[in-house]
Amino acid sequence: MKKKFIVLGVLLAAFGFTKANAQINFGDKAIGAVQKGVSGFTFSNADAAKLSKEAVDKLDAEHEIAGPTDGYAIRLNRVFGKHASGDGFTLNYKVYKLKEVNAFATADGSVRVYSGLMDIMDDNELIAVIGHEIGHVANNDSRDAIRAAYQKEALMDGVASQSATVASVTDSQLGKIGSAIIDSKYSRKQESEADLFAYNFMKKNGYDVNAEESAFRILAKMSEGSEASFIDQMMSSHPDSKKRADDTKKRAEKDGLYKPYVQQKIVNTAPVTTTKKATTTKKTTTKKTTKKK
Ligand SMILES: [Zn+2]
C-alpha cells in the first residue's frame, strides 16, 4: 500500500497531476498562513540554492547512486552530459538506482534521474523529461518549492519562523525538505510552462520534438492498467499525461514538425570492455610500512 503510494507520488512529482496536488500539497490557504507567520522573511535565490544543495547532499547519501562504470551513469552522461553547462549555469547530474519512474531538478542545479525512468524512456524521451525538470528550475518553480518547504518546516519549528533570515535547519528538517523536493507538486500552469521549456529545449538542440509527446504517451499508457501492479490503478483517473501528450503534439503540428515518434532502442548496460585482467599479478607480499617517530 505504502509502496504503491510512493510510486504514484513520484510519478506525480515528475509529471504533475493536479488531482494529487490537491491531496498532498499544502494548498494555497495553508501557504498563505505560513507566509503570514513569517512576514518580513526573505529567501533569496542564493538561500534556495544553498538549502537545495544541503537537501540533495542528504538525498544522495541515502540513495544508491550509479557509479561511473554503471551503464545507467554512462548513458546519462552520454545523453545529457553535453547540456550540463550552459549560459551562466552548471548542472550536476546523477542516477538514483530505483525502480520508480521519476526525475527531479533542484534550485542549486542538481538533476537526479531514477533508473526506473531510464528503463522506459529512450534517449530523446529522456531528454524531454529532463528538459521538463530543468524548466522548473529555469522558471524558478524549484526555488519556490523549496522556499515553501522551508517555510513549512520553519513554521512548525516555531522558533525559526520568527527569524527574518534562513536559519540553519536540523538534520530531520533537512530530511523533510528533501522529501518535499522529491514530491514537489507544481500547478497545472507551471507544468505546462515546463513542458513548453522542454519542447523549446529539444527544438533548439536539434532533437526530435515528438519524443516529448511520446514520453507522455508512455506514462498515459502505463496508467491504463497493463502496468497496474507497478503504477497504481489510481493513475487511470488522472488524464493529464494524455492531455499533455495532445498539447505537445498540437505544438509540433503548429511548428510543422509533427511526425509520429518511434521509440528507439533503450540500452542501459555498460559497454563491454575488452580489458583483460592480469592473472598472475596477485600481490601477496605487500607489506605495510609502519610509521615510527
Ligand atoms: Zn513538472
Q: How far is the CA of 227 from the centre of ligand 1 (A)?
A: 22
Residue 2 pLDDT class (50, 70, 90 cuts): very low
Q: How far is the CA of 288 from the centre of ligand 1 (A)?
A: 54
Helices 141-157/171-182 angle, 10° precision: 140
Q: Are 212 and 128 in contact (CB under 8 A)?
A: yes
List the one residue out of 129, 91, 86, 90 whose CA is nearest residue 110.
Answer: 91
Q: How far is the CA of 192 from the centre of ligand 1 (A)?
A: 8
| pLDDT at site 165 | 60
The mean-pLDDT minimum among 19-23, 68-72, 257-261 falls in: 19-23
| pLDDT at site 8 | 38
Residue 227 has pLDDT above 70, yes or no: no
CA 31 remoteness from chain centre: 23
Residues 42 and 25: their CA atoms lie apart, in Å, by: 22
The pLDDT of 3-19, averaged and rounded, is: 38
Residues 40 and 291: their CA atoms lie apart, in Å, by: 58
Q: How far is the CA of 191 from the centre of ligand 1 (A)?
A: 5
| pLDDT at site 188 | 87
Residues, CB within 5 angstroms of ligand 1 (ion): 16, 191, 194
Rounded mean pLDDT of the chain? 78
Q: Are 168 and 48 in contact (CB under 8 A)?
A: no
The mean-pLDDT minimum among 71-75, 217-221, 258-262 falls in: 217-221
Distances in Å between the alpha carbon of 286 and those of 254, 281, 282?
A: 69, 12, 10
Q: How far is the CA of 254 from the centre of ligand 1 (A)?
A: 23
Enumerate residues 6+ apart whose C-beta is below 8 A from 186: 16, 21, 136, 141, 145, 194
List the one residue out of 224, 149, 141, 231 whose CA is nearest residue 188.
Answer: 141
Residue 110 has pLDDT above 90, yes or no: yes
Q: How far is the CA of 153 from the centre of ligand 1 (A)?
A: 23
3-state class percentages of the chain: helix first, strand second, coil last, to nearest 5: 60, 5, 35
Predicted structure pTM score: 0.75
Residue 256 has pLDDT above 60, yes or no: yes
DSSP secondary structure, 126-180, as one string: HHHHHHHHHHHHHTTHHHHHHHHHHHHHHHHHSSGGG-SS-PPPPHHHHHHHHHH
Between strands 92-96 and 110-114, the pairing is parallel
| pLDDT at site 44 | 85
List the one residue out of 102, 101, 84 whose CA is nearest residue 93.
Answer: 84
Enumerate residues 6+ apart whose C-beta is below 8 A from 65: 94, 95, 96, 97
Q: Are 17 and 238 in contact (CB under 8 A)?
A: yes
Q: How far is the CA of 14 from the centre of ligand 1 (A)?
A: 5
Enumerate residues 6+ apart whose C-beta is below 8 A from 108: 48, 49, 50, 52, 53, 56
Residues 56 and 41: their CA atoms lie apart, in Å, by: 23
Q: How far is the CA of 223 from the centre of ligand 1 (A)?
A: 17
List the one residue out of 55, 87, 23, 25 whose CA is nearest residue 238.
Answer: 23
Residues forming the active site: 133
List the one residue out of 252, 222, 249, 159 whose CA is nearest residue 10.
Answer: 222
| Residues 169-178 pLDDT 10s | 888 888 999 9
Q: How far is the CA of 129 from the centre of ligand 1 (A)?
A: 9
DSSP, collapsed to helix, strand or coil, labels residue 113 as strand
Enumerate residues 6+ apart whose C-beta is below 8 A from 155: 34, 37, 38, 161
List the one residue out of 186, 199, 81, 89 whose CA is nearest residue 144.
Answer: 186
| Residues 38-60 pLDDT 10s | 455 678 888 899 999 999 999 99
- Residue in this structure with the C-alpha cell 518511434, named with its chain if needed: 262
